[in-house]
Amino acid sequence: MSYVAIRGGLDAIGQAGKLLDALRALGGDSDPLDVAMIEHQLPLLHSRVLSEGGLYHPMLAALALKQCLGDPLEAAFTLRAYRSTQPRLGVTPPHETSRMRLIRRISAAFKDIPGGQMLGPTSDYLQRLFRLDLIEEDREAFQAIARQWLENLPDEGLPDSFPKVVGALRAEGLLPPVQPCETEPFDITRSPLIFPVPRSAALATMTRGETGGLLALAYSTMRGYGDIHPTVAELRVGYLPVMLPHPVTGEPIEAGEVLLTECEIVAMYEAGKDGGKPMFSLGYGACFGHNEVKAIAMAILDRCLQSGAAHGARNPAEDAEFVLLHIDGIESMGFCTHWKLPHYVTFQSDLDRLRTAQAKAGQSQGGTNDAS
């Protein structure tokens, strides 16, 4: 079978793009969405795009959602494509997340933690019932929500930072001490994953992985395909100051801050090395934006991958190659949607083989009938 050249279709492709854009305006007489409105009124969806796009640019993340008609994977794809065109101007030193300006902080391990629990903005304790009053929300009533909240804030302010729960566990000898890392973190944007990979490569891959993919694999370990029974030592949501070296003095200065979700889980204790005392094991997750499910799932998978590296993979979630090559939503989406593109040649080959096989089967069946 020969290849067949196909021409034309460019006008149809152009019109399809115009129709896609027209879908935003075909819904009636509504006003166009403002990117600030997307960022502030859909913060959890916005956070997914920030995290999976791998670039902290709130305005462009909101623009991507508007441009892609609310598809978070396409929006993350657009944001990541933009990131790939930008120069790298510098590298930050390691950051200490205990300096986060917190808006939420909880622990499932202890009732009372140093600094206290901060429930913050969450739907964890709400019933999943429709608020029908939001269908026709009054503009003045909407603006009054934030105004009334700010007017009723307590006079005493929050402390600048809160101690880490895992710090108290380490002080008691229940977690291993922090080991300094002498090697440079693996840069997944410049080097391909060649297994086995260091933990820094796994964490970097998971932090921009797709939330649903991380959750599915983490859930597999929670319900039996593994031995991870995690306890959230601490879950933090807040703004982390970004420190950069001053271009003249080299001293670290605060260049801004990023919204971050961080989770540290403790899991089943393990026997100490070289006859040492047993200690809890630790899993870590962090991502841009407010995305608690992703941070928890990432921490669980981090613990699974550490176990797989130490003892061999006993289930899919402990296999680094299986996990890290299947959680990137943009790569997964790209491979899935490429099946919509023309596959005329390969399918014609399949047709030819099937027709030939059917003809041979018919001949064989006919010869058998003649013999009988």
Same domain? For 179 and 238 the reply is yes
Q: Give the sheet arrangement for strand 231-245, strand by strand.
A: 101-106, 231-245, 252-270, 279-288
pLDDT for 370 equals: 64
- Provide the whole-model pTM: 0.91
pLDDT for 277 equals: 86
Same domain? For 66 and 171 the reply is no
Q: Is the residue at 133 inside a domain?
A: no
Q: Is the residue at 17 inside a domain?
A: no
Q: Which two tokens stand for residue 269?
A: 């204790």
Q: Alpha helices, DSSP H only, in the chain?
A: 10-22, 35-41, 43-53, 58-67, 72-83, 139-151, 165-171, 199-207, 211-222, 292-311, 320-324, 329-337, 344-371
- Report the domain count for the chain: 2
CB 59 within 8 A of CB 35: yes
Domain boundary among 87, 110, 131: 87
HEC readout, 338-350: HHHCCCHHHHHHH
Q: Is the residue at 149 inside a domain?
A: no
pLDDT for 293 equals: 97
Low-confidence ranges of the chain (pLDDT < 70): 1-8, 157, 226-228, 271-275, 367-372
Same domain? For 69 and 113 the reply is no
Which amino acid is located at 314 in the chain?
Answer: R
Same domain? For 74 and 170 the reply is no
Q: What is the CA radius of gyration of the chain?
A: 26
pLDDT for 179 equals: 83
Same domain? For 108 and 37 the reply is no
Q: Is the residue at 341 inside a domain?
A: no
pLDDT for 368 equals: 67
Same domain? For 181 and 291 the reply is yes
Spatial CB neighbours of 73, under 8 Å, sequence gap ≥ 6: 52, 210, 329, 330, 333
Q: Which two tokens stand for residue 47?
A: 């956070």
CB 129 within 8 A of CB 279: no
Summarised one tens digit per residue, pLDDT across range 209-231 is 999 999 999 999 988 776 667 89
Same domain? For 81 and 105 the reply is no
Same domain? For 42 and 110 the reply is no
Same domain? For 46 and 111 the reply is no
pLDDT for 275 equals: 66
Q: Is the residue at 210 inside a domain?
A: yes
Q: Is the residue at 358 inside a domain?
A: no
Q: Is the residue at 94 inside a domain?
A: no
Q: Which residue range forms the structural domain that includes residue 52?
A: 32-87
Same domain? For 106 and 83 the reply is no
Same domain? For 37 and 105 the reply is no
Q: Is the residue at 342 inside a domain?
A: no
pLDDT for 9 equals: 78
Q: How far apart are CA 299 and CA 302, in angstroms?
A: 5
pLDDT for 250 equals: 86
Same domain? For 45 and 169 the reply is no
